[in-house]
Amino acid sequence: MAAPAVPAAAEPAAALVRSPSFWRSVFARLRRDPVALAAAAVILALLVLALFGPWLVPVDPYASSVLRRLKPIGTPGHPLGTDELGRDMLARLVHGARWSLFMGVTPVVLAFFLGAAIGITAGYAGGLLGTAIMRTIDVFYAFPSVLLAIALSGALGAGIENALLSLTLVFVPPIARVAESVATQLRNRDFVEAARASGAGALTIVRVHVLGNALGPIFVYATSLVSVSMILASGLSFLGLGVRPPEPEWGLMLNTLRTAIYVQPWVAALPGAMIFATSISFNLLADALRSAMDVKG
Amino acid sequence: MAERVLEIRGLEVTFRRGEERIRAVAGVDLTLAAGEALALIGESGSGKSVTLRQVLRLDPERTTEVAGSVRVGGEEVGRLDRRGLRRLRGGRVGMVFQEPLLALDPVYTVGQQIVEAIRAHEPVSRAEARARALELFRLVHVPSPDRRLDAYPHELSGGLRQRAMIALALACRPQLLLADEPTTALDATVQIQVLLLLRELQERLGLAILFVTHDIGAAVEIADRIAVIYAGRIVEEGPVRAVIRSPLHPYTRGLLASRTEGALVKGRRIAAIPGSPPDLARPPPGCAFAPRCSLAVEACRRSVPRLEPFAPGHAVRCLRAPEWAASAA
Is residue A16 one of the residues assigned to a domain? Answer: no
User: Which residues 6+ apart lie within 8 Å of B140 measured at CB?
Assistant: B163, B164, B166, B167, B170, B197, B201
Q: Is the pLDDT of residue A121 over 50?
A: yes
Q: What is the largest CA-CA distance in chain B?
A: 67
DSSP for residue B290: G
Is residue A25 one of the residues assigned to a domain? Answer: no
Closest-CA residue of A relative to B192 is: A6
Closest-CA residue of B relative to A19 is: B151
Contact of B163 with chain A, judged by CB distance below 8 Å, is answered with yes
Higher pLDDT, A75 or B193: B193
DSSP for residue B89: B
Higher pLDDT, A118 or A244: A118
Q: How far is A7 from chain B (nearest CA, A)?
A: 7
- Cβ–Cβ below 8 Å for A191 and B159: no
Contact of B82 with chain A, judged by CB distance below 8 Å, is answered with yes
Q: What mean pLDDT value characterizes chain A?
A: 83
Contact of B102 with chain A, judged by CB distance below 8 Å, is answered with yes
For B233, the 3-state DSSP assignment is: strand
Pick from A11, A190, A297: which is nearest to B103 by CB? A190
Closest-CA residue of A relative to B99 is: A190
Contact of B86 with chain A, judged by CB distance below 8 Å, is answered with yes
pLDDT at residue A20, as a whole number = 55
In the structure, what pLDDT confidence band is assigned to residue A297 with cuts at 50, 70 and 90?
very low
For A152, the 3-state DSSP assignment is: helix
Q: Is the pLDDT of residue A3 over 80?
A: no
- Cβ–Cβ below 8 Å for B105 and A195: yes
Rounded Cα gap, residues A68 and A88, in angstroms? 9
Top residue of B138, B152, B198 to mutate, by most chain A CBs within 10 Å, is B152
Amino acid type, B153: P
Is residue A277 one of the residues assigned to a domain? Answer: yes
Give the CA radius of gyration of chain A: 25
Pick from A3, A295, A297: which is nearest to B203 by CB? A3
Rounded Cα gap, residues A228 and A230, in angstroms? 5
Number of domains comprising chain A: 1
Is residue A22 one of the residues assigned to a domain? Answer: no
**CB A162, CB A242: distance < 8 Å:** no
User: Which residues 6+ apart lie within 8 Å of A227 measured at CB?
Assistant: A104, A278, A279, A280, A282, A283
Is residue A164 one of the residues assigned to a domain? Answer: yes
Higher pLDDT, A145 or B167: B167
Q: Which of A235, A265, A263 is nearest to A251 (CA)?
A: A235
**CB A97, CB A143: distance < 8 Å:** no
pLDDT string in tens for chain B (329-residue length): 457 899 999 999 999 888 888 889 988 999 999 989 999 998 888 888 899 999 999 888 888 889 999 999 888 988 888 888 888 998 899 999 988 888 998 888 999 999 989 998 989 999 999 999 999 999 999 999 989 999 989 889 888 999 999 999 999 999 999 999 888 888 888 888 999 999 999 999 999 999 999 888 888 888 999 999 999 999 999 999 999 888 889 898 888 887 766 556 666 667 778 888 888 888 888 888 888 888 888 888 888 888 888 888 899 998 888 777 777 65
Interface of B with A in 217-256 (CB under 8 A): none
Mean per-residue pLDDT, A218-225: 88
Rounded Cα gap, residues A254 and B249, in angstroms? 85
C-alpha torsion A163→A167→A170→A171, nearest 10: -170
Higher pLDDT, B190 or A66: B190
DSSP for residue B272: -
For B94, the 3-state DSSP assignment is: strand
Contacts of B91 in chain A (CB under 8 A): 199
Amino acid type, B35: G
Is residue A278 one of the residues assigned to a domain? Answer: yes
Pick from B152, B168, B197: which is nearest to A198 by CB? B168
- Tell me how far the alpha carbon of residue B208 is from its chain's centroid: 12
Q: Which of A287, A145, A163, A158 is nearest to A228 (CA)?
A: A145
Sheet order of strands, B225-230 included: B93-96, B176-180, B208-213, B37-41, B225-230, B233-239, B314-316, B308-311
Determine the angle formed by the axes of helices A89-125 and A127-141, rounding to 10 degrees.
150
Rounded Cα gap, residues B97 and B99, in angstroms? 6
**CB A173, CB A255: distance < 8 Å:** no
DSSP for residue B106: T
Contact of A190 with chain B, judged by CB distance below 8 Å, is answered with yes
Pick from A4, A194, A201: which is nearest to B103 by CB? A194
**CB A243, CB A253: distance < 8 Å:** no
Contacts of B141 in chain A (CB under 8 A): 6-9
Closest-CA residue of B relative to A214 is: B107
Q: Which domain holds residue A53?
A: 43-61+76-293
For A259-271, give one letter per residue: b (16+ CB within 10 A) or e. eeeeebeebbebb
Amino acid type, A134: M
- Cβ–Cβ below 8 Å for A208 and B160: no
User: Which residues 6+ apart lie within 8 Å of A79 measured at CB?
Assistant: A73, A90
Residues constituting chain A? 297
Is residue A4 one of the residues assigned to a domain? Answer: no
Interface of B with A in 18-77 (CB under 8 A): 56, 58
Pick from A9, A190, A208: which is nearest to B143 by CB? A9
Q: Give burial (CB, 10 Å; 0-12/13-18/19+) of B284.
A: middle
pTM: 0.78
Rounded Cα gap, residues B46 and B28, in angstroms? 12
Closest-CA residue of B relative to A190 is: B103
* Start-end of H helices in B149-278: 158-169, 188-205, 216-222, 240-245, 250-257
| Cis status of the peptide bond prior to A246, with omega within 30 of 0 | yes
In the structure, what pLDDT confidence band is assigned to residue A287 with cuts at 50, 70 and 90?
confident
| CATH assignment of the domain containing A257 | 1.10.3720.10
pLDDT at residue B236, as a whole number = 93
Is residue A23 one of the residues assigned to a domain? Answer: no
Q: How far is B111 from chain A (nearest CA, A)?
A: 12
